[in-house]
Structure 1
């Protein structure tokens, strides 16, 4: 493949690193610059709410590549420097240190930023979790605390609530929805997850809104809920979702809807592609998507790089996510949230091991397993092929 002479990758995490490696692997020999707002070398984020928070891994273990592998990229690393503006006409990128980078090709992989509550984040003991520094601060806080409130029962909040209970804290999980992770898992599985947390001693306040955080002497001491309920807490994690990190792209001329809007090849504009959590693209089968999961970051970074080098293939992955909570691993493929139907096709929830299929319009759109990893790989085929619903149930019953 041939391509531009100067490529800049904005975002030195999983998606940006994957793009840089794909560029070199596919023959790009020109100038390559990676810009990263954090001063740290690229690292993996999923372990932050699991192994790092539990204290099972040292921080250095999440680093994505050894020094020699990074050096082999022959790239100019601009770490601790944020992109502040983009001029797509002049093909120039402005940086927080006052520098300007010209480019022929640009990869946008700036990820997401955590949402915050309207007030209370200035209190000591109130945390968000996005970066390795956030994770280390949260772990230190958990080790010193006796009680914690987790605001938000999505992936992050549910995982942190589980770790906090394993560390012996009194834990309360709060969410306006009726069950943890109900969006991605659907009603039936989400209520099973709620039961898992209750069995491990987590107090649930679901279908409940937070009205404020209370504090004393500059530190948080509790969370106020609607209905006049007050939950005391030494520590609060705010895990109420995230937003694509696109503020620096205001005025760039790029379409910024739910992230950087791209076509089916991850292209946002001539010479500009996007990848990872920040990218919204047209999936040939599932329509417009933006996926905040680790495997997608790597796959999309690779696909976006190939588009910059002249590739024409559509980016059409089978979306995948997993979560570890207590002794349970949940894995899921495809579109699971919002499916019209769900049916268990293997195992039994009572046994702690089961698998199910999701479907809409007479075809399989998703699959999940609860402590059945081998079954996950088998059911993925139905998602990839869009197997008719009745056929998939027959094959699962005889498989």
Structure 2
């Protein structure tokens, strides 16, 4: 099949998918299977002049928060609900922020984005600000008001640096190199039973505080996990007291041009570029793992943004990847940046202290938490 025919084929298949989605929505409404609509806002971010907030409008699948006592079948049921999505396309969403109104429409997959001009100097209070969201259009009878509160971070104060971190096999073990293990972990566990790597919370808290001990350094989590897992990952960060920050996930469904929309590498590069361009005067630490393409992705970022990356931390998750990381480290060294392969959070903490990025007492905090975490899993 030629490239032209391949693109035409994907376009046809994608249009069929959209028609199927329309039919599913129409039938679901007619049969009363859509009893309420949900606006799902994704945590956004702002600089001094522009605000970015995305989200999705879907049927309310009534996914309740997890508890420590949830059984495997309950975890599987929640995951099924997350992926059994009925999207609401082409509807208008209103945002209210700092006394201003903004409007946008969901796309054919139910996603919406706000990219709006603001004056952050006039906004007081916490670095996390609320954005009120309202669904303008009537979708079902007796719909009532459909509202949500979006959260946007506006970094304030003396910023030492920002942190961009992967999640899978960087913050929490996933087994991404072993498909069966990854599927079992994803569907059978919840935010309480999926335990992060020992000491991650203390390390990331220390980085958030930075050199002055104030929680001001912003965090961004860039992952190739699908948006369907957004609420689960937010809950995971909250349960394990890991600094919150915008999650930048991806839509893994069929698109007009790709069988799986957005490759792992392309998605992460696009999102990291977006962050670096949004904060042009801020340097960053990058955290990833050796399991997939993080070393290659971060090398490309170092090339594109000279002087913007302080250091790259790669969690060592498998010996088979040592040679690959070593090669990428040598290439990165040519640009004056070190890619450090680290065994655990203590190793990363020591390096951060040596470079003056966190306070010395952070080492004890990480060591204590790491010991507690490891004892709890024995």
- Tell me the TM-score normalised to structure 2 length: 0.28
Structure ranking higher in helix proportion: 2
- Tell me the TM-score normalised to structure 1 length: 0.27
